[in-house]
Amino acid sequence: MKKIFVILLSVLLLTGFAGCGFNVNDGFNIDDYNDTINNSDRIDVIIDDKRVDMISGHNNIEDFVNALKLDEWKIKELPEDAKKDAEFVMYKNKTKKEGSKDNSTKFIQVAKIITYKGINYVTLSIAKMEFDFKIPEDVSDYLNTFI
């Protein structure tokens, strides 16, 4: 009986390792993070560590997120020769504690998209994770309008 169990377990393990394909998109759904990006209060466009543009206002941010076509992004390994072009840093208003006397607006970074020169790739940093994506050419062209 013990021999049969060991053989069965071995067959299952070998089938699991050899027969099951692995797709880098398995277990990751960018739609899970769409709300984080869409609910940003401000998006800074950064080039060479300088803010060159800012997107704010609910309608402007919604238009920006819709233009990204997040559902068409595909996880792909970033080419080794990729050179950073711009960063789109998303911020959310920090929630003020009730009774706080501090009236200043504070922002916390919730996500960042890094674009690369001459290629249709981005890196998305969100929720302490980082993913590289191949993006549609029209999305890349749209992002380049801010540069």
pLDDT digits (tens, 9 = 90+) for 36-92: 788 899 999 999 999 999 999 999 999 999 999 999 999 999 999 999 999 999 999
CB-based contact 137:115 (threshold 8 Å): no
Kind of pairing between the strands at 50-56 and 42-47: antiparallel
Angle, helix 137-144 to helix 58-68, in steps of 10 degrees: 140
Q: Distance between CA 122 and CA 87 in Å, rounded? A: 9
Residue type present at position 32:
D
Give the CA count within 13 Å in the CB-facing half-sphere of 80.
Answer: 0
Reported as half-sphere exposure (CB side, CA atoms, 13 A), residue 111 has a value of 21
For residue 92, list its beta bridge partners. 108
Note the pLDDT of residue 39.
87
4-42, pLDDT tens digit by residue? Answer: 333 333 433 333 433 333 334 455 666 667 777 888 999
**What is d(CA 20, CA 32) in angstroms, rounded to the nearest whole number?**
25
Domain ranges in the chain are: 30-95+105-145
pLDDT at residue 103, rounded to an integer: 66
pLDDT tens digits for range 78-127: 999 999 999 999 999 987 666 666 667 789 999 999 999 999 999 999 98
Tell me the pTM. 0.76
Q: Which of 40, 45, 46, 44 is CA-nearest to residue 61?
A: 40
The CATH-assigned architecture of domain 30-95+105-145 is 2-Layer Sandwich (3.30)
pLDDT value of position 11: 38
